[in-house]
């Protein structure tokens, strides 16, 4: 017995019984109806992978039944049973979405094979839908967090622009979430059932990018042994995400401008223009206006893609989001690793996480948390589980910056600063060497060595 369900609809009772017998022998759950209405009402609350229906029935034709099934249960495969010699009407049925047809009479083997294929096809359709739903969920707003005012504004922009077909230029430092914004726009748009195709303009060798984007005909160049569909065509009825657009060369920029402006492309080696139906999203971590000044980016292309700009500020400018992101990633990776979400981050660890500058932005937070969860082995996340740079930067550099000053343009002798700090520390603790060493984060022996170096008086009351 397998868990696949087949419905048979035919007014020929003998044939129905025989088909039921053969398919039940194969382990399918089979339900038979002698007229189409009962089949439809049964399907209303039962799922089924395959319907085998007669083509000619008195109350409703097989074609009519097919169109009703496709409307309510598009993933169910439909096979039509046709009288011998009516192949042309069967072909019409396939155009309307039938999976296959079987001309009566047919062999047991043909029946079994066609059913097996039709059921596999239906299972694939269901799997595809589930994958798409998973992707939509991944890129839903629930998994895209930020409570800072600037991020709330970004969410509003995404919501508004998702409803349109406008070209969007997403900018921001590395790791700020440009790709996740592109996904969110696609999966919240009317094109969400179409493909989302991403091209990383930076990762593809310059000589290959034209054929990657626009495709090529067989023989267009020496290594073009077969025809290739470009990303513009692969993204048909969907979204094309041009990541790192600031890195494309000027000659490709010309071709891109034409594609975006005129909505046509011509594959390499082809004279013919092909119309495209693609929504364009682009991203860069470069300042395109600077590139324009350096003559490495075309101003006309910039205006074409900068119709609706979305800027993602660096994390250090939206510190309110750090705690939210930390908790989001703790939950995500705890559930992924252990199926549970019991880990918490101690206030001490939070202190360091909040103070750090995060030059790698959200990606760096995500990596730090993933690593901390491995080190904490299911326990709470402590400062010890955080990367050194997060602790050092906080304990050292930032504090130094707060206590000291910016280096003067005229420069300064490091030894002079060291001597000044030694004297200052000794003064503060009235010459107590143990305490002065502690204040400076060095050993007492090092302090004494340096005091000797700078000829500082010993006034220790240790």
Ligand X SMILES: Nc1ncnc2c1ncn2[C@@H]1O[C@H](COP(=O)(O)OP(=O)(O)OP(=O)(O)O)[C@@H](O)[C@H]1O
Interface positions with ligand X (CB under 6 A):
144-146, 172, 174-180, 285, 328, 362-363, 366
Minimum distance from residue 141 beta carbon to Mg ion (Å): 19
Q: Which residue from 125, 140, 221, 151 is spatially nearest to 185, judged by alpha carbons?
A: 140
Q: Which does 180 bind (CB under 5 to 8 A by kind): Mg ion, ligand X, none?
A: ligand X
The smaller minimum CB distance to ligand X, of residues 68 and 363, is found at 363
The smaller minimum CB distance to ligand X, of residues 55 and 144, is found at 144
Cα(260)–Cα(242) distance, rounded to whole angstroms?
A: 12
Residue 46 tokens read as 């039962």
- Helices 320-338 and 361-376 pack at an angle, to 10 degrees, of 50
Minimum distance from residue 201 beta carbon to Mg ion (Å): 11
Q: Which residue from 451, 447, 428 is spatially nearest to 437, judged by alpha carbons?
A: 447
Cα(424)–Cα(422) distance, rounded to whole angstroms?
A: 5
Residue 163 tokens read as 């409803």
Residue 50 tokens read as 């395959």
The smaller minimum CB distance to Mg ion, of residues 77 and 284, is found at 284
Q: Which does 175 bind (CB under 5 to 8 A by kind): ligand X, Mg ion, none?
A: ligand X
Cα(302)–Cα(291) distance, rounded to whole angstroms?
A: 10
Residue 20 tokens read as 């039921």
Residue with tokens 């994958």: 131
The smaller minimum CB distance to ligand X, of residues 104 and 138, is found at 138
Minimum distance from residue 360 beta carbon to Mg ion (Å): 12
By the criterion CB under 5 A, which residues form the site for Mg ion? 178-179
Q: Which does 104 bind (CB under 5 to 8 A by kind): ligand X, Mg ion, none?
A: none
Q: How many CB atoms lie within 10 A of CB 168?
A: 25
Q: Are strands 77-83 and 50-54 parallel, antiparallel or unpaired?
A: parallel
The smaller minimum CB distance to ligand X, of residues 290 and 412, is found at 290
Minimum distance from residue 247 beta carbon to ligand X (Å): 11
Residues 6+ apart with CB under 8 A from 393: 355, 356, 357
Minimum distance from residue 242 beta carbon to ligand X (Å): 12
The smaller minimum CB distance to ligand X, of residues 116 and 286, is found at 286
Q: Which residue from 44, 40, 64 is spatially nearest to 54, judged by alpha carbons?
A: 64
Q: How many CB atoms lie within 10 A of CB 267?
A: 24
Contact 432, 462 (CB under 8 A): yes
Minimum distance from residue 302 beta carbon to ligand X (Å): 18
The smaller minimum CB distance to ligand X, of residues 36 and 177, is found at 177
Minimum distance from residue 280 beta carbon to Mg ion (Å): 16
Minimum distance from residue 330 beta carbon to ligand X (Å): 12
The smaller minimum CB distance to ligand X, of residues 331 and 401, is found at 331
Q: Which does 146 bind (CB under 5 to 8 A by kind): ligand X, Mg ion, none?
A: ligand X
- CA dist list (Å): 171 to 168, 245, 296, 396: 10, 10, 18, 32
Query: What three-state secondary structure class fits 82?
Result: strand
Contact 43, 19 (CB under 8 A): no
């Amino acid at each position: 017995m397998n868990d696949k369900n087949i419905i048979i609809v035919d007014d020929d009772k003998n044939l129905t019984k025989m088909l039921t017998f053969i398919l039940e022998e194969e382990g399918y759950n089979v339900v038979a109806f002698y007229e189409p209405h009962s089949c439809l009402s049964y399907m209303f609350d039962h799922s089924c992978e395959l319907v085998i229906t007669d083509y000619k029935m008195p109350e409703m034709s097989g074609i009519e039944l097919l169109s009703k099934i496709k409307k309510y249960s598009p993933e169910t495969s439909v096979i039509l049973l046709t009288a011998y010699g009516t192949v042309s009407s069967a072909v019409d049925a396939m155009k309307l979405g039938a999976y296959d047809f079987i001309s009566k009479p047919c062999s047991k083997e043909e029946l079994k094979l066609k059913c097996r294929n039709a059921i596999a096809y239906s299972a694939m359709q269901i799997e595809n839908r589930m994958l798409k739903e998973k992707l939509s969920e991944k890129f839903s707003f629930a998994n895209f967090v930020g409570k800072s005012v600037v991020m709330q504004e970004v969410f509003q922009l995404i919501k508004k622009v998702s409803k349109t077909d406008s070209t969007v230029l997403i900018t921001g430092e590395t790791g700020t979430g440009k790709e996740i914004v592109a996904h969110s726009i696609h999966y919240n748009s009317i094109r969400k059932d179409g493909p989302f195709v991403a091209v990383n303009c930076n990762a593809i060798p310059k000589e290959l990018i034209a054929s990657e984007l626009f495709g090529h005909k067989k023989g267009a160049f020496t290594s073009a042994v077969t025809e290739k569909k470009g990303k513009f065509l692969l993204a048909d009825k969907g979204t094309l995400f041009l990541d790192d657009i600031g890195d494309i060369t000027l000659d490709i920029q010309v071709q891109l401008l034409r594609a975006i402006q005129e909505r046509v492309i011509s594959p390499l080696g082809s004279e013919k223009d092909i119309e495209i139906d693609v929504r364009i999203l682009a991203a860069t971590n470069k300042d395109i206006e600077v590139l324009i000044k350096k003559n490495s980016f075309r101003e006309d292309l910039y205006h074409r893609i900068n119709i609706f700009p979305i800027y993602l500020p660096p994390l250090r400018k939206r510190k309110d989001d750090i705690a939210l992101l930390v908790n989001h990633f703790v939950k995500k990776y705890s559930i992924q690793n252990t199926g549970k979400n019991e880990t918490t981050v101690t206030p001490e660890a939070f202190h360091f996480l909040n103070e750090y500058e995060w030059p790698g932005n959200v990606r760096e937070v995500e990596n730090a948390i993933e690593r901390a969860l491995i080190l904490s082995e299911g326990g709470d996340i402590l400062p010890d589980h955080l990367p050194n740079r997060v602790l050092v930067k906080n304990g050292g550099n930032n504090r130094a910056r707060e206590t000291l000053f910016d280096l003067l343009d005229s420069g300064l002798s490091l030894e002079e600063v060291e001597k000044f700090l030694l004297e200052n520390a000794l003064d503060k603790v009235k010459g107590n060497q143990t305490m002065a060493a502690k204040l400076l984060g060095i050993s007492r022996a090092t302090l004494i060595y340096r005091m000797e170096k700078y000829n500082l008086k010993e006034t220790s009351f240790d």
